[in-house]
Amino acid sequence: MGIADKIYELVKDLPEPEASKILKFAESVRGRRATVVPAQRQVDLAVFRQYRGCYDGVKIKRETLYDRAGLR
């Protein structure tokens, strides 16, 4: 016997007003349930094609970044 069958067995003997309260509660619980969508981690690599070959592999030194003419 599943959960739905157990709920039915309990509710079928109740008066109509109490049974409608239980129905409203069940509907509100179903309405609150969040839909979980798995994260999609696909990246459109076309966005990065314009930068292909721009990085020459030289390690960047933080001190040289602050020693620019525009920052003086």
pLDDT tens track for 7-50: 899 899 999 999 999 999 999 888 887 777 777 777 777 888 88
69 vs 23: CA distance, rounded Å: 72
Q: Is residue 40 part of a domain?
A: no
17 vs 9: CA distance, rounded Å: 16
Q: Is residue 38 part of a domain?
A: no
Q: Is residue 19 part of a domain?
A: yes
Is pLDDT of 51 > 90?
no
User: Whole domain around residue 9: which residue ranges?
Assistant: 3-33+45-71
Please classify residue 51 by burial: count the beta carbons closer than 10 Å to its beta carbon, then call 0-12 exposed, 13-18 middle and 19+ buried: exposed
Is pLDDT of 72 > 70?
no
The count of structural domains within the chain is 1
